[in-house]
Amino acid sequence: MKSIKALLALSAALLSATVSSATTLTSYISMDNGFIAYLSTSNSTTGTAFSSANDWYHTYSGTTAPLASGTDYYLHIFGYDQGGIAGFLGRFELNGSTHVFANGSTTLLTNTTDWTANNVGFNGTYSAVISLGNNNVGPWGTRPYIPSGVNGATWIWAGDAHSNDAAYFTTKISAVATPDAASSAAMIFFGLASIAAFRRSRGRA
């Protein structure tokens, strides 16, 4: 009886640990001039806002609610300009193992490979973004909390950054195929229970 109770307690603890490790997304964004960041389950729907700001002198962070296992998402960033050149620079982190970015990693920077954008809205047709230079280029200089230099983040925009005052950026976040929490806990519990039963039968032999 004690061994069964111990197995039940262990499986419950494993289930709790699995649930508590749900992945969230954290963003670090510098936008000339302002932005709203959304998380969506459709590339043609805006989604739920989780971060916003209007001041390119600073880097702003935001964190989403936990991502649902087995569900693909789209990170949508609306950026707007209020005079002069526009630009979007960012670093993004997934703190769990249930999802990955378009580059197959849990870390993503702004670049011309993994992002697309348009100037009309999240229900429009997306095209390749343009590069305005790496983090440290003028007129912005080096923005904090975002990697700089040759291998760092790239300032990007949709089309002409001097004449297009609004841009809608998107990149995919894909779910990684993993057993759900309940199944994982059940498998562990029955495996441990089988071992305990085998040991008891050996003890009676």
Residues 94/18, Cβ–Cβ less than 8 Å: no
State the pLDDT at residue 203: 56
Return the higher-pLDDT residue of 170 and 190.
170
The pair of structure tokens assigned to 86 is 């526009």
DSSP state of 139: T
Per the CB < 8 A criterion, the answer to whether 114 and 47 are in contact is no
pLDDT band per the 50, 70, 90 thresholds, residue 187:
low
Q: According to the model, what pLDDT value does residue 7 have?
A: 45
Q: Is the dihedral of CA 109, 18, 38, 70 positive or negative?
A: positive
**Whole-number average pLDDT of the chain:** 86
pLDDT in tens, 69-116: 999 999 999 999 999 999 999 999 999 999 999 999 999 999 999 999
Token duo for residue 29? 């964004």
Confidence of residue 179 (pLDDT cuts 50, 70, 90): low
What is the C-alpha separation between 183 and 187, in angstroms, rounded?
6
pLDDT at 200 > cutoff 90: no
What pLDDT is attached to residue 150?
84
The more confidently predicted of residues 197 and 113 is 113
pTM over 0.85: no
Q: pLDDT tens-digit profile of 5-56?
A: 444 444 444 444 444 468 999 999 999 999 999 999 999 999 999 999 999 9
Q: What is the mean pLDDT of residues 164-189?
A: 76
Q: How far out from the chain centre does Cα 32 lie? A: 22
The confidence band for 204, taking pLDDT boundaries of 50, 70 and 90, is low
Q: Residue 74 corresponds to which tokens in the numbers above?
A: 């789209």
Percent of the chain with pLDDT over 90: 74
- The three-class DSSP label of residue 11 is helix
CA 19 to chain CA centroid, nearest Å? 18
- Please state the domain extents for the chain: 2-17+180-204, 24-175
Q: Taking 60 as the threshold, does the pLDDT of residue 169 lie above it?
A: yes
CA 64 distance to own-chain centroid: 8
Question: CA-CA distances (angstroms) from residue 133 to 83, 87, 142, 149?
Answer: 19, 10, 11, 9
Look up residue 102 and give its DSSP letter. Answer: T
